[in-house]
């Protein structure tokens, strides 16, 4: 069957998921303030490469470690959970199966300790 990345159409599809995901994130007052000074075009490209790699695509991610990227943000569980819920909604919107969503979110969940309270 190939990786999740191949199964759902590679980076082109992931890019659409990321665009939809950030639409949800930027509409959510729980987390949108974290992005108020962010170049969202750059952020979308960066996140597309990161998510592509996390889901079995090629490693084109050249960003900082998760801990370094979130340093000084003091993200709390409520923020992490909001992001996870928006990612779940975006993947659902694009017809990803529930089992594949669960697999993808387990990979995201593994990053929790590297992201929170930094």
Report the alpha-carbon distance of residue 82 to residue 25 in Å, rounded. Answer: 8
Q: What are phi and psi of 56, to 5 degrees?
A: 100, 5
Reading the block at residue 98, the tokens are 């529930």
Q: How far is CA 51 from CA 7, 72, 85, in A?
A: 14, 23, 15
The tokens describing 68, both together, are: 């370094």
What's the CA gap between 50 and 15, in Å, rounded? 11
Give the annotated binding-site residues for heme: 46, 70
């Amino acid at each position: 069957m190939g990786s999740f990345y191949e199964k759902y159409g590679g980076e082109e599809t992931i890019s659409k998921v990321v665009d939809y995901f950030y639409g949800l994130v930027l509409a959510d007052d729980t987390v949108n303030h974290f992005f108020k000074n962010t170049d969202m075009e750059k952020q979308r490209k960066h996140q597309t490469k990161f998510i592509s790699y996390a889901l079995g695509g090629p490693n084109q991610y050249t960003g900082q470690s998760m801990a370094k990227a979130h340093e000084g943000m003091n993200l709390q569980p409520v923020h992490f959970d909001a992001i996870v819920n928006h990612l779940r909604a975006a993947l659902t919107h694009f017809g990803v199966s529930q089992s594949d969503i669960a697999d993808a979110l387990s990979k995201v969940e593994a990053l929790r300790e590297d992201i929170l309270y930094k």
